[in-house]
Structure 1
Amino acid sequence: MSDLYGLSSGGSMKKMAVSRLVEGDVICKQVISGAGVLLESGTLVKEHHIALLRKWEIESVWINDREVMVTQTNDNSANQPKKRVVISIKTNSADEILKAPAIDTPVIASIDELKNYDLVDVDEQLVSTHQFELGDFGPADDQSETEWVQQSYNSHIATAEEMLLGCRLNRLDEAGIIKLVKRSIRNLTLCWDDTLTLTLSDSPENYLVSHSLNSCIMSLAIGMKLNLQKEELETLGVSALLHDIGMARVEDLVWKSTDKLTETQMFPIWKHTIFGSDTLAKTKLFKGIPAYVAYQHHERNDRSGYPKAKKGSMTHRFSQIVACADVFSALTSPRTYRPRLQDERVRRVMNSLSFSQLSGEYTTVLMEIAEKGRLIDPSPQTRILIVEDDSPTANLMMHMIESPQLDIVHAIDGKVALEKCMSWQPSLILLDLMMPVMNGYQFLDELQRMGLRGDAKVIVITAKATRDDVVKGQEMGISGFIRKPFSEEMVREKIFSTIGIRLT
Structure 2
Amino acid sequence: MRRLSMDFIKPGMKVGRPIRNSSGQILLNAGVVLSEKYISRLKLLGLHSLYIDDGLLPDIQVDDVIPEETRVKAIQQVKSLLQAHSKSMGGDISDTSKIYPTINDIIDQLLDNTKLIVELVDIRTMDDYVFAHSVNVCVLALMTGISLGFERPKLFHLGMGALLHDIGKIFVPKNILDKPGRLTEEEYAEVKKHPAYGLDILSKNPHVSSLSRMVVYQHHERYNGEGYPQNLKDSEIHQFAQITGMVDMYDALTANRVYRGAFPPHEAYEMIAGSGNYLFDFNIIQPFLSNIAAYPAGTIVELSSGEIAVVVSTKKGFSLYPKVRLLINRDKNSFQETVEIDLLECRNVTICKVVNDIDFSKLGQELKNKSL
What TM-score do the two structures reach when normalised by structure 2? 0.59
Per-residue displacement from partner, 1:16-49 (whole Å, max 9, x unpaired)? xxxxxxxxxxxxxxxxxxxxxxxxxxxxxxxxxx
From 265, 274, 278, the counterpart of 2:187: 265
> 2:70 aligned to 132, 145, 152, which one?
152
- CA-to-aligned-CA distance 1:396-438 (integer Å, 9 cap, x gap): xxxxxxxxxxxxxxxxxxxxxxxxxxx99xxxxxxxxxxxxxx
Q: Aligned partners of 1:292, 1:206: CA distance in 2, in Å?
A: 25
Asked if residue 223 in structure 1 is aligned to residue 145 in structure 2, the reply is: yes
Provide, for residues 195-235 of structure 1, a one-character-per-residue CA deviation record: whole Å limited to 9, x for no partner: 94556233443221111110000000011111211111111
Give, in whole Å, the separation in 1 of the partners of 2:115 and 2:256.
Answer: 21
Please show how residues 170-185 of structure 1 align to structure 2 within 5 Å: 170-172=91-93, 173-185=95-107
Aligned in 2, Cα 1:344/1:225: closer, same or farther, shift over 3 Å?
Answer: closer
Name the counterpart of 2:287.
365
Matched, 1:275 2:197: yes
**Residue 310 (structure 1) aligned with residue 232 (structure 2):** yes
For structure 1, the 5+ residue unaligned runs are 1-143, 383-422, 425-498
Q: 1:165 aligns with which of 76, 83, 91?
A: 83
One-letter amino acid of the structure 1 residue matched with residue 77 of structure 2: T
CA contact (8 A) 1:371 1:379 kept: no
Q: Which one-letter code corresponds to 2:81 in the other structure?
A: M
Distance in 1 of aligned mates of 2:135 and 2:263: 19
Equivalent residues of 1:205, 1:256 under 8 A apart: no
Relative to structure 1, the CA distance from residue 148 to residue 234 in structure 2 (aligned partners, 3 Å threshold; closer, same or farther) is closer
The CA distance in 1 between the partners of 2:301 and 2:244, in whole Å, is: 23
Whose Rg is larger? Answer: 1
List per-residue Cα deviations over 1:62-84 (Å, max 9, x = no partner): xxxxxxxxxxxxxxxxxxxxxxx
Partner Cα distance (1:365, 1:373) in 2: 17
Distance 1:158 1:353 in 2: 33
Equivalents in 2 of 1:316, 1:148: separation in Å? Answer: 27
Cα distance in 2 for partners of 1:346, 1:237 equals 22
Asked if 1:202 is matched to 2:124, the reply is yes
**Residues of 2 paired with 1:334 and 1:350: CA distance?**
18
- Alpha-carbon deviations, 1:223-278, whole Å to 9, x = none? 11112111111111001001111111112221122222221211221000110111
1:409 maps to none
Is the contact made by 2:97 and 2:207 (CA closer than 8 Å) also made in structure 1?
A: no
CA shift for structure 1 position 321: 1.1
Aligned counterparts of 2:175 and 2:120: Cα–Cα separation in 1? 27
Indicate how the Cα distance of structure 1 residues 198 and 247 shifts in structure 2: closer, same or farther if over 3 A, else same.
farther
Q: 1:245 aligns with which of 167, 171, 189?
A: 167
Matched residue, 1:41: none
| Contact in 2 for aligned 1:188/1:221 (Cα 8 Å) | yes
Partner secondary structure for residue 161 of structure 1: helix
Structure 2 CA distance for aligned equivalents of residues 159 and 375 of structure 1: 29
Match of 2:109 among 169, 172, 187: 187
SS of 1:305's partner is coil
Letter in 2 for 1:157: I
Letter matched to residue 230 of structure 1: R
Q: Residue 240 of structure 1 aligns to which amino acid in structure 2?
A: A
With CA pairs under 8 Å and 6+ residues apart, which has the higher RCO, 1 or 2? 2
Report the TM-score, using the length of structure 1 for normalisation: 0.44
What is residue 250 of structure 2 aligned with on the other side?
328
5+ residue gaps, structure 2, are: 1-61, 305-316, 319-347, 354-372
Matched, 1:340 2:258: no
CA change 1:352–1:372 in 2 (3 A) is closer
Match of 2:99, as an amino acid?
Answer: I
Task: Give the length in aligned residue pairs.
Answer: 248
What SS is found at the alignment partner of 1:200?
A: coil
Equivalents in 2 of 1:356, 1:178: separation in Å? 34
Distance 1:373 1:150, change over 3 A: farther
Task: Quote the Cα distance in structure 2 between the aligned partners of 1:229 and 1:357.
Answer: 26
Distance 1:145 1:350, change over 3 A: closer
Q: Does 1:285 align with 2:285?
A: no
Return the alpha-carbon distance in structure 2 between the equivalents of residues 150 and 180 of structure 1: 13
Report percent identity of matched pairs: 24
Q: Is the 8 A contact 2:266 2:294 kept in 1?
A: no
Contact 1:149 1:191 in 2 (8 A): no
User: What is the CA–CA distance in structure 2 between the aligned matches of 1:352 and 1:148, rounded to whole Å?
Assistant: 28
Secondary structure of 1:370's match?
coil
Q: Distance in 2 between matches of 1:375 and 1:333?
A: 17
Following superposition, the deviation at residue 332 of structure 1 comes to 1.3
1:126-145 to 2 correspondences below 5 Å: none
2:67 partner SS = helix
Shift of residue 339, structure 1, vs aligned partner = 2.0
- Name the CA shift for 1:147/1:366 in 2 (closer, same or farther; >3 Å): closer
Task: Give the drift of 1:360.
Answer: 1.0
Q: Which amino acid aligns with 1:359?
A: D
Shift of 1:352: 2.5
Name the structure 2 match of 1:354. Answer: 276
The match for 2:177 is 255
Q: Secondary structure at the residue paired with 1:369?
A: coil
Is the Cα–Cα contact under 8 Å of residues 250 and 269 in structure 1 kept in the other structure? Answer: yes
Q: What code does the residue aligned with 2:241 have? A: S
| 8 Å contact from structure 2 (residues 265, 295) kept in 1 | no
What's the offset of the Cα at 1:194?
Answer: 7.2
Q: Counterparts of 2:157 and 2:274 in 1: how far apart (Å)?
A: 29
